[in-house]
């Protein structure tokens, strides 16, 4: 009798272990998904192909730039978030072309496609040994500002390759603590005054 009970217990235990294993087995998507490298603003995040350092985040209600010698403006009912990143390739030239802003509620914003032919909007090509600044612009909802994360990778949804996830934790604030939002952000490159 005791032996049968022990066998039964063993069977139940085995079934429980198998069930737990089945439930906890990662899916193919998770197994082959991006290899996350986390960091925060002001520090270099090292992925397999590039280093990224988010220098600043700015917010604006309106963007202006020159297109075919004409002033062009883009307004929004939300906010323009402008992220300036220093990029440096590691072992080979790389286009860090995939960027997204993930808000505190999980909303994911890809780079805006409303800035056709604006300066500095081609995918930023980084070369080994030549750090450069790149600007990523997102059109977001105002409630997606705090606690957001910037995701950077070479390709959309990288498989078995690293993706930088940088916490955007140093936002521009006014002296009273409110978010500093510019009325207009000029995207044109700064022209050097002739000396």
Partner 1 sequence: MTGRGDDRSAGEKRWRRRCMVLLVMLLPLVLAFNTRENIERWWKSRDLLAREVAAGEQADFGGARWQLHALRMAPLPAGGNIPDNAMGVVADFRVQVQDADLPGNWRGCTIALQDGQGRRWLPTYVLRLPRSDTQECVSAIFSGAKAGAMLRIRQAFLVPRDAAGALRVTVSLLQQRPHYLRFAQHPRLMQ
How many chain residues are in contact with partner 1, going by CB under 8 A? 14
Question: Could you tell me which residues come within 8 angstroms of residue 153 by beta carbon, excluding any fewer than 6 positions away?
Answer: 34, 47, 96, 98, 161, 162, 163, 164
Question: Could you tell me which residues come within 8 angstroms of residue 33 by beta carbon, excluding any fewer than 6 positions away?
Answer: 157, 159, 160
Q: Quick one: which segment of 18-26, 32-40, 84-92, 170-178 binds partner 1 (CB under 8 A)? A: 84-92
Q: Does 78 bind partner 1 (CB under 8 A)?
A: no
Count of residues making up the chain:
195
Binding track, positions 87-126, relative to partner 1; x by CB under 8 A:
---xxxx--------------------------x-x--x-
Distance from C-alpha of 94 to C-alpha of 168, rounded to nearest angstrom: 23
Q: Does 182 bind partner 1 (CB under 8 A)?
A: no
Least distance from C-beta 160 to partner 1, angstroms? 13
Q: Does 127 bind partner 1 (CB under 8 A)?
A: yes
How would you classify residue 29: left for phi > 0, otherwise alpha for psi between -120 and 50, otherwise beta? alpha
Q: Does 189 bind partner 1 (CB under 8 A)?
A: yes
Q: Kindly tell me which of 111 and 144 has the beta carbon lying closer to partner 1.
A: 111
Q: Does 159 bind partner 1 (CB under 8 A)?
A: no
Give me the residues paired with residue 56 across strands: 84
Three-state secondary structure call for residue 21 = helix
Least distance from C-beta 141 to partner 1, angstroms? 31
Interface ranges with partner 1 (CB under 8 A): 90-93, 120, 122, 125, 127-132, 189
């Amino acid at each position: 009798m005791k032996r049968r009970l022990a066998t039964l217990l063993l069977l139940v235990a085995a079934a429980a272990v198998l069930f737990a294993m089945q439930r906890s087995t990662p899916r193919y998507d998770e197994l082959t998904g991006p290899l996350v490298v986390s960091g925060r603003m002001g520090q270099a995040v090292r992925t397999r192909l590039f280093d990224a350092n988010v220098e600043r985040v700015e917010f604006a209600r309106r963007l202006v730039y020159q297109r075919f010698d004409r002033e062009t403006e883009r307004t929004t009912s939300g906010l323009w978030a402008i992220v300036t990143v220093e990029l440096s390739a590691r072992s080979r030239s790389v286009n860090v072309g995939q960027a997204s802003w993930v808000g505190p509620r999980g909303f994911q914003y890809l780079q805006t496609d409303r800035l056709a032919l604006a300066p500095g909007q081609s995918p930023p090509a980084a070369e080994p040994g030549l750090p450069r600044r790149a600007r990523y612009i997102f059109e977001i909802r105002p409630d997606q500002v705090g606690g957001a994360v910037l995701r950077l990778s070479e390709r959309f949804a990288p498989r078995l390759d690293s993706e930088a996830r940088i916490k955007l934790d140093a936002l521009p604030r006014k002296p009273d603590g409110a978010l500093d939002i510019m009325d207009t952000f000029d995207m044109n490159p700064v022209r050097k005054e002739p000396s």
